[in-house]
Structure 1
Amino acid sequence: MNPIQPPPSPMKSRFRKRPDLSLPLPHRDVALAVPLPLPPPPSTTSAPTSGSAISPNVSAAKSLSELERVNRIGSGAGGTVYKVIHRPNSKPFALKVIYGNHEDNVRRQICREIEILRSVDHANVVKCHDMFDHNGEIQVLLEFMDGGCLEGVHVSREEELSDMSRQILSGLAYLHRHHIVHRDIKPSNLLIDSEKNVKIADFGVSRILAQTMDPCNSSVGTIAYMSPERINTDLNHGRYNGYAGDVWSLGVSILEFYLGRFPFAVSRQGDWASLMCAICMSQPPEAPATASEEFRHFVSCCLQSDPPKRWSAQQLLQHPFILKSTRAPGS
């Protein structure tokens, strides 16, 4: 019979198991953080979009040969964007070249998404005209916006900001009505032209590539504009509503335009942990007291920590701050 062993002394227990005094980061469940619902693909019998510059009946090689590259207008981890001229009519376009050769299943998913994007037709969403497969490299022909992106833009006049916000919301509400979630609303994905038309760009394909090429990463680039519940899936009982997430990102972007700086107390280029703490563990940023009551309330309607409390894009279009825009829609 084995003798009964005495319990370990407190001193030995302390040495055997040291308390963990570090702050654990939340578990990031990619399946919850970045769902990718896709609407049904458009009918293959539908007529080509009227705005398409190059007929889909023309072979990709011939169509691509009619495009003359002018200069590079942007680049990132996923690809490079060039300004190109369509020689037959001298019309400018943007050509996004997506890096890398992709497996067949990835390519099929990208092609399906681009077909959906080609069906999108709204004055405040950048038009996707066509896709080319050039030596295994995917190239997407997009509407060209001669004013570039809104990154770094400071808009202190509320009347001007109201008009910009109305245009972005109009495009976002259209996407949401068609069950398309952007997931990457931020100043660099908001483009403007010389007539001050603002349009939403860069949605769809980059999300597919991010998930397929790096399934452990829930984002493309910075998390600075992501909603708290998308960064930390422990929030909101693990549920992520992409539409509410887009509204949060819009609110951060609009407040940044007004302030002329990133609205959180950290750099938007900061490390993941710093941004996570600022976005998920602090109160949402607010418009300053010097701003109008309408603008302050508008920002608060976007930047609610509790996703169900955020207004939808359609509701925000009826907000007093948006209604005071003096520029009529479509003008």
Structure 2
Amino acid sequence: MALIREKRLPQLQLSLPIPARAAAQRPKPMFAPAPALTPKKASTPTALSSQFRLSDFDKLAVLGRGSGGTVYKVRHRETCALYALKVQHYGDPAAAAEADILSRTASPFVVRCHSILPVAASGDIAMLLELVDGGSLDSIKSRQGAFPEAALAEVAAQALSGLAYLHARRIVHLDIKPANLLASTAGEIKVADFGIAKVLPRAGDQCTSYVLYVSTTAYMSPERFDPEAHGGHYDPYAADVWSLGVTILELFMGRYPLLPAGQKPSWAALMCAVCFGEAPALSDGVASPELQGFVAACLHKDYRKRASVAELLAHPFVARRDVAVSKCALRKLVADVSLESRRT
């Protein structure tokens, strides 16, 4: 029980090679490959706009706070356009890294960064982001509880399309969770918060140094807790899939799924649940066979048996959903929460 004898600390730096997903390492695909959802017009990353100044904006509300900074809802004085302004504290290395990654992306499934605005007085960095008006899936779950399965299929489809776009550019998110998936009232899902994301090197996708415990522990995959128990390998693409599987299961159940209801999510409890425990069984009367199969495909403890993003896009839960019904269910869910928020 090496995990029990030696607790790893979040600041621990390890040298962990990341293996390329060679055909010999992976079993035969579970499903026929399917392309990710794509916008009507292809888009490519463009240089961030320098036309904005921090003094051009009025702060309207605080959207969220974290150890690295604060996100505000702001309004451009001249155009009255609304944005999200993420102010990262001076000296936080994640700020520059996140700005660099967002400058590489232009996808309808990834939150857009319009500009980087230096804060002269404090040295902080401010990122002007698109405002996703429905908020995070975590906030929606907190107000509405469990998601209906139709809405959840649309969440899975769009989140997977975001991951497919990122992974194709060797970007791994490493912190997929309900709080980092944003929803719009138009029924759009966008991957957000790239504070610990990484751009992997091209040559064999190998890393010589990796921060292992920097993401939210509850959504970390077993191989991230203990890579030695999994052959010494840590595949960050498969880790993103695990995190998405936990996220989908949590939204379906309305609570964190890998611990009993009410149990405190301590490091030791989470380690035992993720590495040794089993995900709660979803009975036929509660969940469809498609959803059961989707979650199981995401949550294989052996990363080599875990479905890839491309395989999950071809999974019946996503590929055979009624798109019109799923989008309508998601829009209704977000609209109901937005209406409730305005009333309170």
Band the TM-score falls in, shorter-chain normalisation: 0.7 to 0.9
> Residues 301 and 48 of structure 1: is their aligned pair in 2 closer, same or farther, counting only changes over 3 Å?
closer
Q: Give the structure 2 partner of residue 132 of structure 1.
A: 117
Q: Secondary structure at the match of 1:238?
A: coil
Query: Post-superposition shift, 1:133?
Result: 1.8
Q: Give the structure 2 partner of residue 77 of structure 1.
A: 67
Query: Post-superposition shift, 1:30?
Result: 3.2
Q: Give the structure 2 partner of residue 294 of structure 1.
A: 290
| 1:167 is the counterpart of 2:167 | no
| 1:31 is the counterpart of 2:31 | no
Query: Post-superposition shift, 1:71?
Result: 0.7
Q: Secondary structure at the match of 2:137?
A: coil
Counterparts of residues 261-276 of structure 1 (less than 5 Å): 261-266=255-260, 270-276=265-271
Question: How high is the TM-score relative to the length of structure 1?
Answer: 0.76
Counterparts of residues 231-250 of structure 1 (less than 5 Å): 231-250=225-244
Query: Post-superposition shift, 1:219?
Result: 1.6
Q: Give the structure 2 partner of residue 18 of structure 1.
A: none
Query: Post-superposition shift, 1:326?
Result: 2.2
1:191 to 166, 174, 182: 182
Q: Secondary structure at the match of 2:171?
A: coil
1:279 to 274, 289, 297: 274
Matching residue's letter, 2:233: R
Matching residue's letter, 2:276: M
Q: Which moved more, 1:121-130 or 1:302-311?
A: 121-130
Q: Which structure's CA Rg is the greater one?
A: 1
| 1:326 is the counterpart of 2:322 | yes
> Residues 318 and 48 of structure 1: is their aligned pair in 2 closer, same or farther, counting only changes over 3 Å?
closer
Structure 2 gap segments, 5+ residues each: 19-43, 199-209, 329-344
> Residues 289 and 330 of structure 1: is their aligned pair in 2 closer, same or farther, counting only changes over 3 Å?
closer
Aligned partners of 1:327 and 1:171: how far apart in 2? 17
> Residues 269 and 196 of structure 1: is their aligned pair in 2 closer, same or farther, counting only changes over 3 Å?
farther
> For 1:5-58, what per-residue CA distance to the aligned partner results, in whole angstroms no more than 9, with x for missing partners?
xxxxxxxxxxxxxxxxx94135566325798xxxxxxxxxxx9839x6xx32x4
> Residues 166 and 235 of structure 1: is their aligned pair in 2 closer, same or farther, counting only changes over 3 Å?
same
Q: Give the structure 2 partner of residue 177 of structure 1.
A: 168
Q: Give the structure 2 partner of residue 151 of structure 1.
A: 138
Instruction: Say whether the 8 Å CA contact 1:252–1:303 is kept in structure 2.
Output: yes
Instruction: Say whether the 8 Å CA contact 2:14–2:212 is kept in structure 1.
Output: no
Query: Post-superposition shift, 1:313?
Result: 1.0
Structure 1 gap segments, 5+ residues each: 1-21, 36-46, 209-214
Instruction: Say whether the 8 Å CA contact 1:96–1:140 is kept in structure 2.
Output: yes
Instruction: Say whether the 8 Å CA contact 1:155–1:161 is kept in structure 2.
Output: no
Q: Which moved more, 1:299-308 or 1:132-141?
A: 132-141
> Residues 226 and 23 of structure 1: is their aligned pair in 2 closer, same or farther, counting only changes over 3 Å?
closer
> Residues 313 and 79 of structure 1: is their aligned pair in 2 closer, same or farther, counting only changes over 3 Å?
same
RMSD: 3.1
Aligned partners of 1:156 and 1:48: how far apart in 2? 33
Matching residue's letter, 1:133: P
2:57 to 50, 63, 67: 67
Provide the identity percentage: 40
Query: Post-superposition shift, 1:284?
Result: 3.7
Aligned partners of 1:89 and 1:34: how far apart in 2? 49
1:86 to 67, 73, 76: 76
Aligned partners of 1:262 and 1:240: how far apart in 2? 24
Aligned partners of 2:166 and 2:175: how far apart in 1? 13
> For 1:203-226, what per-residue CA distance to the aligned partner results, in whole angstroms no more than 9, with x for missing partners?
1x3458xxxxxx987224x30011
Query: Post-superposition shift, 1:199?
Result: 0.8
Query: Post-superposition shift, 1:112?
Result: 5.8
Aligned partners of 2:65 and 2:264: how far apart in 1? 17
Q: Give the structure 1 partner of residue 99 of structure 2.
A: 114
Q: Secondary structure at the match of 1:275?
A: helix
Instruction: Say whether the 8 Å CA contact 2:172–2:197 is kept in structure 1.
Output: no
> Residues 69 and 112 of structure 1: is their aligned pair in 2 closer, same or farther, counting only changes over 3 Å?
same
Query: Post-superposition shift, 1:175?
Result: 0.6
Aligned partners of 2:316 and 2:221: how far apart in 1? 24
2:89 to 82, 99, 122: 99
> Residues 141 and 286 of structure 1: is their aligned pair in 2 closer, same or farther, counting only changes over 3 Å?
farther
Q: How many residues align?
A: 281
Q: Which moved more, 1:262-271 or 1:78-87?
A: 262-271
Aligned partners of 1:187 and 1:141: how far apart in 2? 22
Query: Post-superposition shift, 1:122?
Result: 1.0
Q: Which moved more, 1:109-118 or 1:83-92?
A: 109-118
Instruction: Say whether the 8 Å CA contact 1:248–1:302 is kept in structure 2.
Output: yes
Q: Secondary structure at the match of 2:227?
A: coil
Question: How high is the TM-score relative to the length of structure 2?
Answer: 0.73
